[in-house]
Amino acid sequence: MKVEAKLEFQPSTEPKIGADLLINLLIKEGVDTIFGYPGGAVLPIYDGIYRAKGRINHILFRHEQGMIHAAEGYARITGKPGVVIATSGPGATNLVTGITDAMMDSLPLVIFTGQVARSVIGTDAFQEADVMAITTPITKHNYQVQDITDLPRIVKEAFHIASTGRPGPVLVDVPKDISASILDSDVPEDACIDLPGYQPTLKPNPLQIRKLADTLEKASRPVILSGAGVLHAHASDELTAFAEKHQLPVVNTLLGLGTFPADSPLSLGMGGMHGTYAANMALYECDLLINFGARFDDRLTGNLKHFAPNAKVAHIDIDPAEIGKNVPTQIPIVADAKEALKELLSQTNASPEHGSWLEKLTNYKQEYPLWYKLDPSGMSPQWLIEAIHKATKGEAIVATDVGQHQMWAAQYYTFNRPHRWITSGGLGTMGFGFPAAIGAQVASPESTVVAIVGDAGFQMTLQELSVIYEQNLPVKIFIVNNGALGMVRQWQELLHGNRISESILGSQPNFVKLAESYGIRGQRIDTQEDLIASLPELIAYDGPLLVDCRVMQQEKVFPMMAPGKGLHELIGVKPI
Amino acid sequence: MKRIITLTVRDRSGVLNRVTGLLQRRQFNIASISVGPTETEGVSKMTLVVEVEDEQRLEQVTKQLNKQIDVLKVSDITDKAIVVRELALIKVSSSAQLRSEINGIIDPFRALIIDVSKDSLAVQITGRPDKIDALIELLRPYGIKEIARTGLTAFQRGHQPQVNDIPSYTLLK
Ligand SMILES: Cc1ncc(C[n+]2csc(CCOP(=O)(O)OP(=O)(O)O)c2C)c(N)n1
């Protein structure tokens, strides 16, 4: 009797349940980290995680939004899907912002949400939400598991869909009775993908490649636009080789920063609303625009009437639906950017004769560089970013939140390498930056990871300070603290008759004490001298760190293309 | 312009919602939609009539539909040789005296009276939507009480007259 009772508590004799199968499948997919938060409907899954200790790492966040942004940061750095587990109802709805963000910025995620048991779905059961309907428009695809024997196939398909073609979030809704179901020993773990409706085109059409090569040869004002598709395709080297081979100037999108070395003489920097004069004028005046993996977002193009008005447009994109969506395209090429670039590099065409164009652009760069004024008594935010750039030798992984500081980081933290830059482009999600930095640090423990955040956005997800303390993740948080919703304040000043409406923060926590209360070192910096004195030590500090940097509130991001304006109508291109 | 777009889709839960949700989100107007099983098990066919402003929007709608994982094939068959049918049920006010007069109207349309009551009768008509519209106009003076239409369904004729054998959906258009 005694022996039998003891045996009952041996984990090995516990029956295997659906959740154990799920965890096994995740391990098989090569998942090393789960970004998760438990709750009623995922309790069986957490049993599975409990039993799989040592085989898979789980990080407990403090809010589902924080954890999904962390998974996005992880995905951005590794290129692998970030894996998220949340409970039904409120757990799932708390993910919605992050799922949308990942959808807009094409980040691979595989998200598992708990669901109420199949027998009560549709009865407004406790913590039931129609997650399938809610997430259909914001996922690349979603599944609700109806039968445990489908799980191996669904998991395999979810990872496949998330990480191939144009990446994106895939959600799997798992009813509690499925994850809790006792497994028949004969549920096979192997499954085949069954996706006849999903076959991304990777190889470019050779005729179109030839057409582009021929058109390029005859162009006199060619320019490359390089977007995040180049990152997903790991095609930076090919892009750089192609640009250098034909001496083509390169404009980066916000998300495409790092795909082309910023210190190359061919680099024009970022284009768009807060892009450089040279980049925007190149897009405006070109006669051939070759877009690799950018989706012609309106923050890049400005008023479409004035976007590349005299150019032939070639657009290389793995997602056919992006081609011709916003900008009429004469040379459409559906392909993976790397495949297309390899083909282009093997063409034997001569380079275009565009010396005077390059000269003109170089003049633009010299005549209209980015500019800012130093704050004699305090600290100007642009200078702060430059100082961080210098102290980290431009080699850090930088995650930003959304607002002015994001644009300054994009302008002044220049990258010569890809996969170091994490920012929320399409959705512009405040609260993204800090948790995304956590995910990046998890993905790349040896790297210096810097979170550059605004004082307002940071407060949307700061609860994750617990996570960097607990996991001892040496994320360096720099709050660009202007005491305002800076970007909103800027728009109000410039575009809304200086009606500064609800964009000044009336009170703030003491960020240093806040950090300390989480067990994290905090430091406040008020002046340039302060920063110069302490920055090397701060960057070298081996642990999580929050730096509250006080900057001038009035500072604005320039140049700026006001909404509705064209690329050639930038304001603030010269010091005022 | 009105376009007829057919989709073959996997018969999975939520697929209709994926298609209509997509069209709504991207601001495409659906004039009609019909769905039913096909010759292949697990595959359904949808026939959509959508209102689009121009070629570019048309291309967008087909591309976006194609992106759906559960959508197997998208074809704009508007300009093909196609067979198009819709079914309509029309309830018309009618006394016994008017019945033969109405019969005379519907007869050339090869429509049928399928239900009769004291003061109304129900007509069933199958055909191209314009034919159905025409009959409805002719019946209107008698007083139409109710109309139920299925939305059209269509496919390509066995023989396509032109030689231009371009695939119905091309990325290189
Ligand atoms: C969730 C969310 N709410 C509102 C906005 C609108 N918004 C864009 S920038 C901004 C101000 C951000 O202020 P802060 O975080 O302090 O950064 P700063 O612009 O001052 O650098 C706001 C409110 C947003 N992008 N995201």
Q: Which of B63, B70, B173 to mutate to test the interface with A (most CBs of A within 10 A)?
A: B63
> What confidence score (pLDDT) does residue A114 get?
98
User: pLDDT tens-digit profile of A89-141?
Assistant: 999 999 999 999 999 999 999 999 999 999 999 999 999 999 999 999 999 99
Question: Exposed (0-12), middle (13-18) or buried (19+): which is B170, by Cβ within 10 Å?
Answer: exposed
Asked if A349 contacts A212 with a C-beta cutoff of 8 angstroms, the reply is no
- What ipTM was estimated for this complex? 0.91
Query: Candidates A385, A453, A478, A485: which one to mutate for ligand 1, based on the most atoms within 8 Å of Cβ?
Result: A485
User: pLDDT tens-digit profile of A192-205?
Assistant: 999 999 999 999 99
Give the DSSP H or E segment for A391.
helix A381-391
List the A57-60 sheet strands across, edge first: A57-60, A33-36, A82-86, A109-115, A169-175, A141-144
List the B29-37 sheet strands across, edge first: B29-37, B43-51, B2-10, B71-76
Asked if A322 contacts A295 with a C-beta cutoff of 8 angstroms, the reply is yes
The number of C-alpha atoms within 13 Å of A465 and in the hemisphere containing its C-beta is 21
- Atom 11 of ligand 1 has which residue's CA nearest to it? A485
Measured between CB atoms, does B57 come within 8 Å of chain A? no
Residue A187's pLDDT band (boundaries 50, 70, 90)?
A: confident
> What confidence score (pLDDT) does residue A12 get?
53
Measured between CB atoms, does A269 come within 8 Å of chain B? no
Give the DSSP H or E segment for B37.
strand B29-37
- Of A429, A374, A433, A431, the closest CA to residue A409 belongs to A433
Residue A14's pLDDT band (boundaries 50, 70, 90)?
A: confident
Cα–Cα dist A261/A61, whole Å: 35
* Average pLDDT over chain A, rounded to an integer: 96
DSSP helix, strand, coil percent of chain A (3-state; round to 5): 40, 15, 40
**C-alpha to C-alpha distances, A503 to A59, A397, A490, B57, nearest whole angstrom:** 35, 30, 9, 39
User: pLDDT tens-digit profile of A276-311?
Assistant: 999 999 999 999 999 999 999 999 999 999 999 999
Measured between CB atoms, does B27 come within 8 Å of chain A? no
The pTM of the full predicted model, rounded to 2 decimals, is: 0.95
**What count of other Cβ atoms lies within 10 Å of the Cβ of residue A506?**
6
Measured between CB atoms, does B66 come within 8 Å of chain A? yes
The response to whether residue A172 sits with its C-beta less than 6 Å from ligand 1 reads no
- What is the DSSP annotation of A308-347? STT-EEEEEES-GGGTTTSS--SEEEES-HHHHHHHHHT-
> What confidence score (pLDDT) does residue A278 get?
98
Q: Which residues of A are catalytic?
A: 64, 126-127, 176, 487
The domains of chain B, with CATH numbers, are 2-76 (3.30.70.260), 83-153 (3.30.70.1150)
pLDDT per position in chain B (173 positions), as tens? 999 999 999 999 899 999 999 999 999 999 999 999 999 999 999 999 999 999 999 999 999 999 999 999 999 999 999 999 999 999 999 988 999 999 999 999 999 999 999 999 999 999 999 999 999 999 999 999 999 999 999 999 998 876 555 444 333 32
> What confidence score (pLDDT) does residue B87 get?
97
Note whether A16-179 and A381-550 share their fold. Answer: yes
C-beta atoms of A321 and B172 within 8 A: no
Q: Which residues of A touch B60 (CB under 8 A)?
A: 321, 324-325
C-beta atoms of B21 and A136 within 8 A: yes
Q: What is the share, in percent, of chain A residues with pLDDT greater than 70?
A: 98
C-beta atoms of A197 and B22 within 8 A: no
Cα–Cα dist A295/A105, whole Å: 10
**What count of other Cβ atoms lies within 10 Å of the Cβ of residue A474?**
17
CATH class of A206-367: alpha beta
CATH topology of domain A381-550: Rossmann fold (3.40.50)
Three-state SS annotation for A487-556: HHHHHHHHHCCCCCCCCECCCCCCHHHHHHHCCCEEEEECCHHHHHHHHHHHHHCCCCEEEEEECCCCCC
The response to whether residue A482 sits with its C-beta less than 6 Å from ligand 1 reads yes
Domain ranges of chain A: 16-179, 206-367, 381-550
Cα–Cα dist A4/B6, whole Å: 64
Helix extents (H) in chain B: 15-25, 55-67, 99-106, 129-139
CATH class of A16-179: alpha beta
